[in-house]
Amino acid sequence: MPNSTSASLKLTVQATGENSGTWGQITNTNLLVLEQAIGGYEAVGITSGATLTFSNGVVSNGKNQVLKLTGTISGNVNVVIPDSIEKTYIVENATTGSHTVTFKTSSGTGVTWGTADKGKKILYSDGTNVLEALSSTGALRVSGHILPGANDTYDLGASGNVFRDVYTGDLHLTNKFKEKGNIVDGTKGNWTLQEGENDIFMINNISGDKFKIKLDKVKGDL
C-alpha cells in the first residue's frame, strides 16, 4: 500500500508496518519539513513570477515559514501556492521595479503589494484564498505599546498615503534626537500639547514654561 500524505505540508503519513528499514529516514524528512514550516527561511527569485512547490514527502520552498521575494521585475507578477494549502507565511517583498506583487492561490484571490510597497506582510492561506493576517479593513487592537524598531527612523503614514483622522490624548513633540534642529531657528525642543476645557496649552518640557494658545472664536457657519 503506498504512503499517503498530509493535506497542507505534504508530510508522509505511514501506516503500521509500512516502510520497514526506511521508517527512520522518512520520519527525519518529516521533521525537516516541520522545521521549514515553523522557522524555515528562503529567498525566492520572482523575476517573472513564481509557483511555489509543495512536493510530497520532501522539503520544498513553499513550505517555509519566511519567504523573501527577490529579483528585478519588469511587470506585475504573481507568486502562487496550491489551492488546498492551509498555512501561515511571513513574506518580504524585496524586489526592485515599480510593479505589483500578488501572493495568491492557484484559483483564488491573494494579497497584493503596491508598486511602491517593499515591506513585509503576515499572510495565511485558508485553502482557497490568501489573506492578510492583520486585516487592513478592520481595527487593529493591542493591549500594549506600539513602538518603532529604531528611534527617530520610521514614519506613521506617508505623503500621499495619510491617515484620515488621528485621535489621541496629550501630544508630545520633540526633535532632540535629530542631527539638526528645526528649519526656522535651528534649535531643538521638547513640548507637550494638552487640552483644557476652553483652551489649548503648550508645555515646554525643557524650561517648564506653560503657554496658552490664542484662539479666536468663529462666528456663524463656515
According to the model, what pLDDT value does residue 200 have?
Answer: 96
**Surface-to-core class of residue 135, CB atoms within 10 Å of its CB (0-12 exposed, 13-18 middle, 19+ buried):** exposed
Q: What is the mean pLDDT of the chain?
A: 91
Asked whether the beta carbons of 222 and 211 are under 8 A apart, the reply is no
Q: Whole-angstrom Cα distance, residue 43 to residue 45?
A: 7
Report the share of the chain in percent with pLDDT over 90.
66
The confidence score (pLDDT) of residue 134 equals 65
Q: Is the pLDDT of residue 70 over 50?
A: yes
- How far is the C-alpha of 68 from the C-alpha of 113, rounded, in Å? 13
Q: What's the pLDDT tens digit per position in 29-59?
A: 989 989 998 999 999 999 999 999 999 989 9
Locate cell 505534504: which residue?
Answer: 10
pLDDT per position as a tens digit, 95-140: 999 999 999 999 999 999 989 888 899 999 999 999 998 644 456 7
| CA dist., res. 134 & res. 63, Å (int) | 21
Q: Which helix (H) or strand (E) holds 26?
A: helix 23-39
**Quick one: pLDDT at residue 136?**
45
Q: Which of 3, 119, 97, 11 is nearest to 49 (CA)?
A: 97
Task: Name the 3-class secondary structure at 180.
Answer: coil
* pTM of this structure: 0.62
- Contact indicator for 101, 124 with CB cutoff of 8 Å: no
Please state, in angstroms and as integers, the Cα–Cα distance from residue 38 to each residue in 51, 60, 131, 198, following that order: 21, 13, 19, 55
Strands 110-113 and 120-126: unpaired
pLDDT, tens digit (0-9, with 9 covering 90-100), for 151-180: 998 899 888 889 999 999 999 999 999 999
DSSP assignment, residue 93?
E
What pLDDT does 210 receive?
98
